[in-house]
Amino acid sequence: MASVREVLSGDRLSLARLLSQIENDTIEGRAALSELFPHTGNAHLIGVTGAPGTGKSSLVNQLAHHFRHPPESIPPRRVAIVAVDPSSPFSGGAVLGDRVRMRDLAGDPGIFIRSMASRGSLGGLARTTSGVVQAFDAAGFEIILIETVGAGQAEVDIARLAHTTLVVEAPGLGDDIQAIKAGILEIADILVINKADRTGVENTERALRTMLDLAHPIQRVYRHHGSLEVVPSSIAESPQEESVWIPPIQKTIALDGTGVQELGDQIARHKAHLEKTGEWESRGRTRLQAELDNLLQNTLVNRWRDSLSPERYQEIFEQLIERNLSPRQAVDALLNGGPRR
């Protein structure tokens, strides 16, 4: 396939077109991904998620700039950005507006920004985002920043895709009960409090800190006869202390770049940690396993559906509407009745 060679040689138009093929899940796109796959596995995948309006796009803009213009002694890296915004559940259309915050990055050939619509997927990414990321990886981008749909509490697909997941918070978005709920905060490798110049930043930080202390008790403080007694936990004493990653909290102001350098350092520290503990490989394994399972499921469902006659489906469905069958019984009837042509 011609375009694969061009993508590997760095041709941007071929890459852009291939990304569309992947997004549209065409035969050509699938074939190209298979050819590109041996060239993947080199990029550092960094996820950026958080509620709408916390400043994810502005932060991605600053981070990309940071990786392109690093402090001396570190070579600049090629950066790809995949920015996902929601599709309308009614029209299927979308307004993808993340580029508005990324205008500083224009004109830099070491940067490639691609906007994606979620196209009905609910986990904060599009179904084909991992394919798009693989194409960037194969094309030699060393850093891939993946910005999710503005996420609430359960859009956690990004943690399965990325090596390093940043969860972006902003002051004033919720109390400490939000911070102990399950879901998005749990997937953070690094917690970012953006808009740190706003009032209430201390409260946000305290709530997150409390949550972290509950999850990773370094030292426990007991009330003992009215005085405080500090009891170090087993983690702190254990010799493998460094094998436990405790998500740091980094305050940033994405509009002026405050804290971005430090955030970049935290990301580098996390990568080093992953490599040292072998988690880099294990996360890669988990990601590929999830991808294999997903693909297997989709393919099986599609294959089975293709062999099912629409009349048979309609017939069972009518029985469901009449309440002669429960949804579970309808599934059994469709599967056990055997797909008929």
* 44-50 and 227-232 strand pairing: unpaired
State in angstroms the smallest separation of the CB of 168 from other proteins: 21
Report, in Å, the least distance between residue 1 CB and other proteins. 15
Alpha-carbon distances, residue 69 vs 62, 66, 109, 126, 303 (angstroms): 10, 5, 13, 30, 49
Whose Cβ is closer to other proteins: residue 24's or residue 309's?
Answer: 24
What tokens does 100 get?
């508005």
| Nearest to other proteins of 61, 204 (CB atom) | 61
Alpha-carbon gap, residue 232 to 238, rounded angstroms? 10
SS3 at position 23: helix
Which residue carries 């254990």 as its tokens?
238
**Minimum CB distance to other proteins, residue 235 (Å):** 45
Strand 249-251: give its sheet, edge to edge: 111-117, 79-85, 143-147, 44-50, 164-169, 190-193, 249-251
> Which residue, 119 or 216, has its beta carbon nearer to other proteins?
119
Whichever of 12 and 224 has its CB closer to other proteins, that residue is 12
The 8-class DSSP code of residue 55 comes to -
- Beta carbon nearer to other proteins, 67 or 267: 67
Least distance from C-beta 106 to other proteins, angstroms? 4
Query: Whose Cβ is closer to other proteins: residue 131's or residue 264's?
Result: 131
Cβ-based neighbour number of residue 312 at 10 Å: 16
Separation of alpha carbons 59 and 159, rounded Å: 18
Tokens standing for residue 165? 């997941």
Shortest distance (Å) from residue 50 CB to other proteins: 21
User: Min. distance of Cβ 200 from other proteins in angstroms?
Assistant: 29
CB of 60 to other proteins, least distance (A): 15
Q: CA 287 to CA 293: how far, in whole Å?
A: 10
Interaxial angle between packed helices 56-68 and 260-277, expressed in degrees from 0 to 180 and rounded to the nearest 10: 80
Comparing CB distances to other proteins, the nearer of 95 and 292 is: 95
To other proteins, the closest distance from the beta carbon of 73 in angstroms equals: 30
User: Is the CB of 19 or the CB of 144 nearer to other proteins?
Assistant: 19
Whether the CB-CB separation of 150 and 95 falls below 8 Å is answered with no
Binding-site ranges for other proteins (CB under 8 A): 12-13, 16-17, 19-20, 24-26, 87-88, 90-97, 99-100, 103, 106-107, 112-115, 117, 119-120, 298, 302
